[in-house]
A and B are shown apart, each in its own frame.
Chain A
Amino acid sequence: MTTEFAYETTPGRQLPDGQQPKIELHGVGKVYPGTTVPAVADLDLDVPTGEILVLVGPSGCGKSTTLRLINRMIEPTSGKIIFDGEDVTDVNADALRRRIGYVIQQIGLFPHQTIAQNISTVPRLLGWDKARTAQRVDELLELTGLDPREYRDRYPKELSGGQAQRVGVARALGGDPEVLLMDEPFGAIDPITRDRLQNEFLRLQSELKKTIVFVTHDIDEAIKMGDRIAILGDQSVIRQFDTPERILAYPVDEFVSDFIGSGSTLKGLNFERVRDLQLSEDFAIVGVDTDRTEARRIFEASPERWMLVCDRDSRPLRWVGENDLSDGAPSLERAGVPVSATVMPNATLHDALEEMLLSNAGQAVVVDEKGRCQGILDIERLADVLKRLRHQAKKHYEGLAARETGEAAPPSEPGRSGAPHDESLGGEH
């Protein structure tokens, strides 16, 4: 089946050509003393610079362990960790952690310190002066949507869960790290607040462009937050590593498709927008003033069972069918059914589908911001899009597999092809 080649392509090494990873894991593994089964087995992973990489997998697959291996909260028992081209496997772990922000699900604010003191933890460790630290605290509070004057001197117990998590993020950003590790940061927050925090965090990230490794067990959160997703199986083995669009369009094996669950196709519609689509040309569109016999002629020429009536400013008015065009029927202005489903060009296909299902015509009218009809979108167009996406993703994986087998022998890119690690790795940068 198609699943076979996915394993041969070293899934953790699939960054687009020329992109320098911020963090590289080379054969990193962790075996706890007294056990023989590794918690993390021989992991190869490139973390792309300035992107959110989501590690997602079922409970107990070792994704949190993997995250904690990166900042060496857990010391790896094998392999190498490369940070910005520098081998950090054996450097001072405390100094390393000051360069990497860390957010955990329980947040772990220091209850005996004010919010300002909490946020200035890393600046203090880095020896910043008072003025710079104070300025940084206010800046971060504002960035995370908390008024510095109100929150600076509060204690953590005086915050709600959502506010505490914002402070947690602000604290992790304290020393302006280039990398942020987040372990289910929104896991313990109610769904509504979580959604808001996720959106705010994405907005923040679009400004900050940090390199983020984000752990979650929730595939929907992964799809929403991730620029790239690594789906992990037992012992943190990467089952698929790709953009959310491609994973949804083409799960490489049963494990991945099981994990994504039903409705992955529908979720994939979130990544496509109406404006990128070829709209249907089969529907007839007539003005409201069109003469009845003329309208009937146009309707009969079209293969569809419905025809759209627009007003003089070409805003969609009504859907009319065959019966509405008979001689005894009311004028076009009042015939048929009103148009209820309209979508804007920048809507996602998911939104469009929802509109279509709600409308009684099974199709949606695409309108511009002034409400003028741009064209009509129907279910068949969506099906075509899905087919195309799946096809492209499949081609992509076949291409990868072909390249892998084709260039397996020549050592073109040491350390990036998944070949055994040679000594040149440390000085590669």
Chain B
Amino acid sequence: MSSLQDVPDEVAELDEVHSYMPVNGDDEEAPSPGLPPAVRLIKSNAGLFLTPVLVVVGAVLLYVYNQRADTIFQDERALNWDRNLRPQLEQHLSLTLWSTVFTVLIAVPLGILLTRPRYRRAGAPILAVATSGQAVPAFGLLVLAFAWLGRGPWTTIWALALFTLLPVLRNTMVGLEQVDRSVIEAGRGMGLTKRQALQQIEIPLAVPVILAGVRTALVITVGMASLAFLIGGGGLGATISAGLKLARDLVLITGAVMTALVALSVDWIAALIEKTLRPSGL
């Protein structure tokens, strides 16, 4: 229980992780009155409008940079869209997607279970294990997974899923714990069964916090997927690595900027989902 109580601080930290992102928006703030509705809409969702613009501008600049740069044979090969960049991009996205899907499938039900009275006792130790698990460097975890499961994308997916379990698990537990007890009490008092109270009250009210955890997990996963090439998982990390080995700035920058653009886009999509799934009235 005691370790659950200091969890909210950590959630605040998670929020801070996002605060540098324009995506977070200021949708909590009441829009200033007196402006036309269209302007208000754009103002209150400034983050959501800004990110796609940034991504498009970044992509265009990268393309122009590539077109104008002097290229040598190795560059041509490393930056070949059909042979290298497109498959790597697809791998990167699918690694991110699948590992997040598994994270959610494991962490959310586990989080629900660990907040039920019967299993609440197990919550603190499991959270402690998950926290110390995240202290393991990502690289080390990948190598361990490689040693255990062998080469390939699935090894990467499982390693990434394990690594991002914590934010989702923690936010699920915190999200459920922070639901006002009196709301649940009122619901149970009117004859909602435990299951109905969970489905109709607790989970909907925990959704914003759970989604914040999922979004954190997504962003971490995009970054970590850059290391997947080390154990044969592919991804845009391969291009970055090639740039380093060849000492070619063009290749290095292309790989790095593409990774950044993917991260921004993924976070933007997550923000959209967060906004859509957030129950109205909160």
Binding site for B on A (CB under 8 A): 71, 73, 94-98, 101-102, 104, 106-114, 121-122, 125, 155-157, 168, 171-172, 174, 181
Query: For the complex, what is the distance from the CA of A371 to the CA of B211, rounded to whole Å?
Result: 71
- Nearest-Cβ distance from residue B279 to partner chain A, whole angstroms: 4
Report yes or no: B190 in contact with A121, Cβ–Cβ below 8 A.
yes
Residues in chain B near residue A174, CB distance under 8 A = 190
Report yes or no: A112 in contact with B185, Cβ–Cβ below 8 A.
no
Report yes or no: B281 in contact with A156, Cβ–Cβ below 8 A.
yes
CB within 8 Å for A104 and B186 given contacts A94-B191, A111-B205: yes
Residues in chain A near residue B183, CB distance under 8 A = 108-111
Query: For the complex, what is the distance from the CA of A73 to the CA of B190, rounded to whole Å?
Result: 10
Residues in chain A near residue B196, CB distance under 8 A = 125
Query: For the complex, what is the distance from the CA of A155 to the CA of B201, rounded to whole Å?
Result: 15
Which single residue of chain B is at the shortest CB-CB distance from A113? Answer: B281
Pick the residue among B184, B190, B201 that contacts A102 (CB under 8 A): B190
B187 at the interface (CB under 8 A from A): yes
Report yes or no: B281 in contact with A107, Cβ–Cβ below 8 A.
no
B37 at the interface (CB under 8 A from A): no
Report yes or no: B185 in contact with A108, Cβ–Cβ below 8 A.
yes
Interface secondary structure of B, over-half rule: helix
Query: For the complex, what is the distance from the CA of A427 to the CA of B138, rounded to whole Å?
Result: 69
Report yes or no: A97 in contact with B280, Cβ–Cβ below 8 A.
no
Interface size class of B (residues with CB under 8 A): 20 to 34
Report yes or no: A112 in contact with B182, Cβ–Cβ below 8 A.
no
CB within 8 Å for A73 and B282 given contacts A106-B182, A111-B205: no
Residues in chain B near residue A109, CB distance under 8 A = 183, 186
- Nearest-Cβ distance from residue B110 to partner chain A, whole angstroms: 24
- Nearest-Cβ distance from residue A218 to partner chain B, whole angstroms: 20
Query: For the complex, what is the distance from the CA of A118 to the CA of B187, rounded to whole Å?
Result: 10
Residues in chain A near residue B191, CB distance under 8 A = 94-98, 122, 125
CB within 8 Å for A73 and B185 given contacts A94-B192, A172-B190: yes
Report yes or no: A73 in contact with B281, Cβ–Cβ below 8 A.
no
Which single residue of chain A is at the shortest CB-CB distance from B179? Answer: A111
Report yes or no: B190 in contact with A125, Cβ–Cβ below 8 A.
yes
Residues in chain B near residue A110, CB distance under 8 A = 183, 186-187, 200-201
CB within 8 Å for A102 and B186 given contacts A111-B281, A114-B281: yes
Query: For the complex, what is the distance from the CA of A94 to the CA of B189, rounded to whole Å?
Result: 8
B204 at the interface (CB under 8 A from A): yes
Residues in chain A near residue B280, CB distance under 8 A = 112, 155
Query: For the complex, what is the distance from the CA of A97 to the CA of B201, rounded to whole Å?
Result: 17
- Nearest-Cβ distance from residue A184 to partner chain B, whole angstroms: 12
Q: Given A110-B186, A122-B191, list of 18 further CB < 8 A pairs?
A: A94-B193, A102-B189, A104-B182, A104-B186, A108-B183, A108-B184, A109-B183, A110-B183, A111-B281, A112-B205, A112-B280, A113-B281, A121-B187, A121-B192, A157-B281, A157-B282, A174-B190, A181-B189
Report yes or no: A112 in contact with B279, Cβ–Cβ below 8 A.
yes
Report yes or no: B190 in contact with A107, Cβ–Cβ below 8 A.
no
B188 at the interface (CB under 8 A from A): yes
CB within 8 Å for A171 and B279 given contacts A108-B180, A108-B183, A109-B183: no
Residues in chain B near residue A156, CB distance under 8 A = 281
A94, A110, A171, A174 — most chain B CB neighbours (10 Å): A110
Pick the residue among B180, B190, B200, B205 that contacts A122 (CB under 8 A): B190
| 9 tightest Cβ-Cβ pairs between the two chains A and B | A108-B186, A155-B281, A106-B182, A98-B191, A102-B189, A112-B279, A97-B191, A108-B182, A108-B183
Query: For the complex, what is the distance from the CA of A110 to the CA of B180, rounded to whole Å?
Result: 10
Report yes or no: B188 in contact with A171, Cβ–Cβ below 8 A.
no
Report yes or no: B193 in contact with A111, Cβ–Cβ below 8 A.
no
Residues in chain B near residue A98, CB distance under 8 A = 190-191
- Nearest-Cβ distance from residue A97 to partner chain B, whole angstroms: 4
Residues in chain B near residue A106, CB distance under 8 A = 180, 182, 185-186
Report yes or no: B189 in contact with A73, Cβ–Cβ below 8 A.
yes
Query: For the complex, what is the distance from the CA of A171 to the CA of B191, rounded to whole Å?
Result: 12
> Could you jot down 7 A-B contacts, CB within 8 Å?
A73-B189, A97-B190, A98-B190, A104-B182, A106-B182, A108-B184, A125-B192
Query: For the complex, what is the distance from the CA of A106 to the CA of B182, rounded to whole Å?
Result: 6
Report yes or no: A107 in contact with B182, Cβ–Cβ below 8 A.
yes
Q: Mark B197-220, 1 if CB is under 8 A from A, else 0.
A: 000110011000000000000000
Residues in chain A near residue B184, CB distance under 8 A = 108
- Nearest-Cβ distance from residue B100 to partner chain A, whole angstroms: 25
- Nearest-Cβ distance from residue B45 to partner chain A, whole angstroms: 20
Report yes or no: A111 in contact with B282, Cβ–Cβ below 8 A.
yes
Residues in chain B near residue A121, CB distance under 8 A = 187, 190, 192
Residues in chain A near residue B193, CB distance under 8 A = 94
- Nearest-Cβ distance from residue B30 to partner chain A, whole angstroms: 12
- Nearest-Cβ distance from residue A243 to partner chain B, whole angstroms: 29
Report yes or no: B188 in contact with A73, Cβ–Cβ below 8 A.
yes
Query: For the complex, what is the distance from the CA of A98 to the CA of B193, rounded to whole Å?
Result: 10
Report yes or no: A108 in contact with B281, Cβ–Cβ below 8 A.
no
Residues in chain B near residue A168, CB distance under 8 A = 186
Query: For the complex, what is the distance from the CA of A145 to the CA of B183, rounded to whole Å?
Result: 23
Residues in chain A near residue B187, CB distance under 8 A = 108, 110, 121
Which single residue of chain A is at the shortest CB-CB distance from B193? Answer: A94
Which single residue of chain A is at the shortest CB-CB distance from B278? Answer: A112
Q: Mark B267-282, 1 if CB is under 8 A from A, else 0.
A: 0000000000001111
